[in-house]
Amino acid sequence: MGFIHINQEKCSKCGICVDICPPSILHMGKTGPSATKPATCIACGHCVAICPNAAINNIKTPLADQVALAKFPVINSDTAYHFMRSRRSIRCYRSENIPRNQLLKLVDVARFAPTASNKQGISYIIVEDSKILKKATETIINWMEENQARWWSFPLHIRAYREHGIDGIFHSAPNLIIATAPTDFKNGRENTILSFAYLELFANTLGIGSAWAGLFEMCAFSNYSPLLNLFNIPENKSITGAVMAGFPKYTFKRLVDRNPLD
């Protein structure tokens, strides 16, 4: 049976695991399901998670590591709808750092986001040092001064920072989460977008605000070495995105509308 193990006493041979397998590598035999092309298993865990009798085990996604789901859906649709609408990009933060255990919760939930063929591949750098963030702001402002003609807003950010000390890069957020992926990984950016979408939604449940660090990304994506060196990005890794995070200074009182559904 290789990496698939069947508890013969529990297996009812219902065929659900065979039907749901994304790469279609399972088939039903006299003794239960087995794998025809083990090497093409993407370790999604569907076969183990779907079995009504907990009869199948996959060494790539062990049954012992899965969590029993008490009910589904987990929350009702009205709660979910209002929760998802309540997420906003935060650009005014309180000064205190997010506790490390909560920062780790953010990146931990991010790894559960869906990815093409379950490739995943994203790792994270959590920045907690305010001195590093201040140096990063200065570095990005320097890059903007070298590329003022590139974007209409660059001169505005430069002037606000140089003349008034206003941080338009991170908005004085106390923490930054940087996503990285191997330089030869083709799905790095889209997998980062998916993982950060999970992170930002979950952040709301912890009372944490967040926003994409777009100007940081522009500088990083241009391979500006002073910025990459500041965060010790390895040569075999590339920055694929960044989100600033902190406790919101203010609380929104209403859900904002968007353009009508098209």
Q: Are residues 103 and 205 in the same domain?
A: yes
CB 189 within 8 A of CB 240: yes
What's the pLDDT at 36? 82
Decide if 102 is inside a domain.
Answer: yes
Bond prior to 73 in cis (omega within 30° of 0) = yes
Residue 96 within a domain: yes
Residues 89 and 177 in one domain: yes
Domain containing residue 57: CATH number: 3.30.70.20
Full pLDDT tens readout for the chain, 262 residues: 478 999 999 999 999 999 999 999 999 988 889 888 888 999 999 999 999 999 999 999 999 999 999 888 999 999 999 999 999 999 999 999 999 999 999 999 999 999 999 999 999 999 999 999 999 999 999 999 999 988 899 999 999 999 999 999 999 999 999 999 999 999 999 999 999 999 999 999 999 999 999 999 999 999 999 999 999 998 899 999 999 999 999 999 999 999 999 9
Are both 203 and 141 inside the same structural domain?
yes
Is there a single domain that holds both residue 105 and residue 220? yes
Classified as helix, coil or strand, 58 is strand
Q: What is the CATH number of the domain that holds 196?
A: 3.40.109.10
Give yes or no: residues 114 and 221 share one domain. yes
Q: Please tell me the predicted confidence (pLDDT) of residue 32.
A: 87
For position 13, what pLDDT does the model report?
94
- Interior CA angle at 254 toward 250 and 256, to 5°? 105
Q: Does residue 153 share a domain with residue 46?
A: no
pLDDT recorded at residue 149:
87
Domain interval for residue 14: 4-65
- Return the half-sphere exposure (C-beta side, CA atoms, 13 A cut-off) of residue 119: 15
Predicted pLDDT at 37: 83
User: Count of domains in the chain?
Assistant: 2
- Tokens standing for residue 181: 């992926």
CA 147/CA 236 separation, integer angstroms = 26
Is residue 61 domain-shared with residue 188, that is, in the same domain? no
Instruction: Judge if pTM exceeds 0.85.
Output: yes
Residue 248 is classified by DSSP as: B
Same domain? For 148 and 112 the reply is yes
Task: Tell me how far apart the alpha carbons of residues 257 and 262 are, in angstroms, rounded to a whole number.
Answer: 14
190 and 106 fall within a common domain: yes
Q: How far apart are CA 28 and CA 97, in angstroms?
A: 53
